[in-house]
C-alpha cells in the first residue's frame, strides 16, 4: 500500500510552526480518518493534528518538545488506494516528475552567441563554468548557534546604533535590540560593540537557563512591538454597587469583566474612530465591535475575542463568555475566537491589583483595565455624610497618536455612566 506523509497542518493564518507536546500513536497502530494523533502547541493555543485517512502508522518522525514548521512531515502512514481517492490525497510517486524542456529556437541560439561575443567579434565564453567549480548545496542544512544553549527570544528586525556586523551576529543568534538593554556599550556614543556583545554572551552562558515556551516568546514579541508606539494611561474610580446588585439578581450571573466588556463596546460603537488605527495620514475605522479579554494561562496570556459585542445583550453574551474563559484556560480556543479585536479588557483586580498600566496589543490601540473592588467611604451630598460603597479603578491605556487625555477621559466617563445603569447593558 502507498506510503503517505502526515504533515504539520496550517493551524492558523499567522502560525508558521508548532511544538509537539503529546504523541498519541505508535508505529504499527491502526488509525481512522480524522483521529487526533498529535497535541501541538502554537503561540496561541494547544491544538490537535488529525489523520487525513484510515490506515496504519508506519513511522513517527516527530519528537516531543521539538518545533516543526507548517508542512513538515510528522509521520508516515500506510493507506490504501481507495482511502487516498476518498480523502482526496495526492498519491505519492516513486520518481520525481519530469519537467518538459522548451525546444531551443534559432532566436535562443542567436541571443547566446551575442552574449558570448566581444566587440571584436571573437567568441568569449563569459558564462562557461568548469565542472570543478560546481558547489554542492545541502537543501536541508542543520543550523547550529555559535553559542550552545542560548535561549532564543522574539525575533528582531535590526536595531539603531548597531553596526552591520553586530546586526548579523544578533540575527544569527535570534536576538533583538531589546535583549541588549542591559549591556553598557563602550563604543562611540554608547554604541554596543561586537566585543561588548560577545562578552555579554559569555557572561549569560554562566547562568542557569531554561527554554522559553512558544507562548512566552509570542508575548515578548507582541509587547516589544507594542512599545514602539507612544502609549499613555488614564484612570478613574468607579462605583460597582449597581453592577453587583444587578449581578446578584440575575440568572445566569455574568462575570464582572463582562459588564466592562459590554460597556466598552457600547461606548466605542458611538465613535469608532477612537478604536481606529493610524495608517499614514488616515485613521482606519474598525468594521465591527469585536472585543477581546485577557485569560491567564501557564507562562502567558491568551486573548479570546467576542464578536459584534455591541449588537448583543449582556444576557446573550454570558454563556459564550463563560465558555471562552473555560476553553481559554485549557488553551483550546475555537478558531472564531482567535485573531484580534479592536480593544481588550483585562481584569487584573482578580489578583488583588488596584491600579495598573496594561499595554495594548500591537494591532489595537486600547486596553481597558479593571482593578480590585474594595469598600471605601464616599461622601453623599444628599445625606450629608460618608457612606460605604464598593469602588474599583478603571484604567485605559491607549495609543497617544489616536487619543489625547481628554478624549480618553471622556471614553472612561461614558463607560462609567453605562456601568451605573447595568440594566441597559
User: pLDDT for 97-116, tens place per residue?
Assistant: 333 334 445 555 555 455 44
Look at residue 239 and tell me whether its pLDDT is greater than 90. yes
Pick the CATH number of 3-87 from 1.10.238.10, 3.90.79.10, 3.40.640.10, 2.40.50.100: 2.40.50.100
Between 153 and 216, the more confident residue is 216
For the question of whether the overall pTM of this predicted structure is more than 0.85, the answer is no
| Nearest in space to 401 (alpha carbons), one of 369, 345, 360, 368 | 360
Q: Give the chain's mean pLDDT.
A: 81
Lowest mean pLDDT among 96-105, 173-182, 339-348, 354-363: 96-105
Look at residue 338 and tell me whether its pLDDT is greater than 80. yes
| Nearest in space to 267 (alpha carbons), one of 354, 391, 339, 368 | 368
Look at residue 294 and tell me whether its pLDDT is greater than 70. yes
What pLDDT score was predicted for residue 374? 94
| Cis before 252? omega within 30 | yes
What pLDDT score was predicted for residue 44? 67
Look at residue 233 and tell me whether its pLDDT is greater than 90. yes
Over residues 323-340, the mean pLDDT reads: 88
Contacts of 142 (CB under 8 A, 6+ apart): none
* Residue ranges, CATH 2.40.50.100, the chain: 3-87
Between 117 and 98, the more confident residue is 117
* Residue ranges, CATH 3.30.559.10, the chain: 229-424
Lowest mean pLDDT among 78-82, 83-87, 97-101: 97-101
CATH 3.40.50.300 holds for 229-424 = no
Amino acid at each position: 500500500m502507498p506510503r503517505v506523509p502526515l504533515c504539520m497542518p496550517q493551524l492558523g493564518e499567522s502560525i508558521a510552526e508548532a511544538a509537539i507536546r503529546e504523541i498519541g500513536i505508535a508505529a504499527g497502530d491502526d488509525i481512522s480518518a480524522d483521529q487526533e494523533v498529535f497535541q501541538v502547541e502554537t503561540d496561541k493555543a494547544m491544538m490537535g493534528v488529525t489523520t487525513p485517512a484510515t490506515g496504519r502508522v508506519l513511522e513517527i518522525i516527530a519528537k516531543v518538545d521539538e518545533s516543526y514548521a507548517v508542512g513538515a512531515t510528522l509521520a508516515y502512514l500506510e493507506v490504501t488506494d481507495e482511502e487516498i481517492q476518498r480523502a482526496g490525497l495526492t498519491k505519492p510517486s516513486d520518481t520525481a516528475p519530469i519537467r518538459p524542456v522548451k525546444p531551443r529556437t534559432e532566436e535562443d541560439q542567436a541571443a547566446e552567441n551575442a552574449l558570448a561575443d566581444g566587440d571584436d567579434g571573437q567568441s568569449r565564453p563569459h558564462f562557461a563554468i568548469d565542472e570543478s567549480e560546481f558547489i554542492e548545496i545541502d537543501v536541508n542544512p542543520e543550523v547550529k548557534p555559535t553559542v550552545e544553549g542560548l535561549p532564543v527570544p522574539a525575533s528582531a528586525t535590526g536595531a539603531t546604533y548597531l553596526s552591520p556586523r553586530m546586526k548579523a551576529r544578533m540575527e544569527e543568534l535570534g536576538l533583538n535590540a531589546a535583549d541588549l538593554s542591559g549591556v553598557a556599550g563602550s563604543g562611540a556614543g554608547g554604541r554596543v560593540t561586537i566585543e561588548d556583545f560577545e562578552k555579554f554572551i559569555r557572561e549569560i552562558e554562566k547562568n542557569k537557563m531554561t527554554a522559553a515556551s512558544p507562548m512566552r516568546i509570542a508575548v515578548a514579541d507582541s509587547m516589544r512591538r507594542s512599545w514602539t508606539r507612544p502609549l499613555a494611561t488614564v484612570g478613574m474610580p468607579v462605583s460597582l454597587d449597581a453592577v453587583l446588585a444587578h449581578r446578584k439578581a440575575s440568572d445566569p450571573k455574568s462575570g464582572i469583566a463582562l459588564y466592562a466588556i459590554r460597556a466598552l463596546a457600547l461606548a466605542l460603537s458611538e465613535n469608532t474612530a477612537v478604536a481606529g488605527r493610524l495608517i499614514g495620514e488616515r485613521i482606519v475605522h474598525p468594521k465591527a465591535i469585536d472585543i477581546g479579554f485577557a485569560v491567564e494561562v501557564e507562562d502567558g496570556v491568551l486573548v479570546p475575542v467576542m464578536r459584534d459585542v455591541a449588537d448583543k445583550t449582556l444576557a446573550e453574551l454570558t454563556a459564550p463568555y463563560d465558555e471562552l474563559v473555560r476553553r481559554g484556560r485549557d488553551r483550546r480556543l475555537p478558531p472564531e475566537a482567535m485573531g484580534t479585536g479592536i480593544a481588550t479588557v483585562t481584569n487584573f483586580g482578580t489578583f488583588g491589583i488596584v491600579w495598573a498600566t496594561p499595554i495594548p496589543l500591537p494591532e489595537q490601540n486600547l486596553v481597558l483595565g479593571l482593578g480590585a473592588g474594595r469598600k471605601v467611604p464616599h461622601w453623599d451630598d444628599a445625606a450629608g455624610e460618608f457612606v460605604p460603597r464598593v469602588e474599583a479603578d478603571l484604567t485605559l491605556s491607549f495609543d497617544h497618536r489616536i487619543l489625547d487625555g481628554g478624549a480618553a477621559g471622556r471614553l472612561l466617563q461614558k463607560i462609567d455612566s453605562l456601568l451605573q445603569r447595568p440594566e441597559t447593558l
